[in-house]
Amino acid sequence: MSQYNVAIIVGSLRKDSFNRQLADAIIKLAPPEFSFKHIEIGDLPLYNQDDDGAQAEQVLRLKTEIADAQALLFLTPEYNRSIPGVLKNAIDHASRPYGQNAWGGKPGAVLGVSVGATGTALAQQHLRNVLAYLDVPLLGQPEMFIHAKDGLFDEHGGIGAASLGFFQGWMQRYVEWVKKHAIHA
C-alpha cells in the first residue's frame, strides 16, 4: 500500500479560522495511508521578483514541503470576493522563479467555508484559475461551497452529524483523485 503525503494550505492566518477547523476536521475522514501536513504561509515575505535568485529561508522551506508532498489540499476563505493575499503570496513564491514551479503536476482540491450563504464560491473559482495555470490537476466535483453555521462541527472538532455523509463522500472522491493522479518517486 502506498503512502500519500498531502500538503494542506489554509489561506487564513486567523487562529480560530473556520477553514483551519475544516482542514482539521476533514482529514479525520481520510484512510490511514493518507497523512496531512499543514504548510506554514504566514511567515513568508511579500513576493518580489528581485528575490528569485536568493529566495528566503522560509520560501525554500515552503518549496521543499510542497515538493515532498504527493498531493495538495487548499482551503480558502473569501476576502472581498477573491482569495486572501497571504494565499496568493504563497502560491507566487512556490511557483517562482520561472521554470521552478513546486505546485506543478500535484493533484489537488479546493474547498472553503464562510459565514456567507454562498460559502467561498468566488474565491474558489479564482484559486482554481490560478492553480490551472500552474498545472495543478484539480478535483472538479463535488464542489464544496460551505456555509459556516451551527452544527457544521461537532463538540470534538469533527464534522457534525448532519453533514458527515456529504463530507465522507467528498473525501472518498478526493482519495480516488489523488491515487489516480499522484506520482510517487
Q: What is the pTM of this model?
A: 0.95
Q: Supply the pLDDT for residue 1.
A: 62
90/84 Cα distance (integer angstroms): 10
Contacts of 26 (CB under 8 A, 6+ apart): 111, 159, 167, 170, 171
3-state secondary structure of 88: helix
Tens digits of pLDDT across the chain (185 residues): 689 999 999 999 999 999 999 999 999 999 999 999 999 999 999 999 999 999 999 999 999 999 999 999 999 999 999 999 999 999 999 999 999 999 999 999 999 999 888 889 999 999 999 999 999 999 999 888 888 888 889 999 999 999 999 999 999 999 999 999 998 65
3-state secondary structure of 161: helix
Rounded (10°) CA dihedral 114, 86, 71, 152:
-20
Residue 60's CB: how many other CB atoms inside 10 A? 11
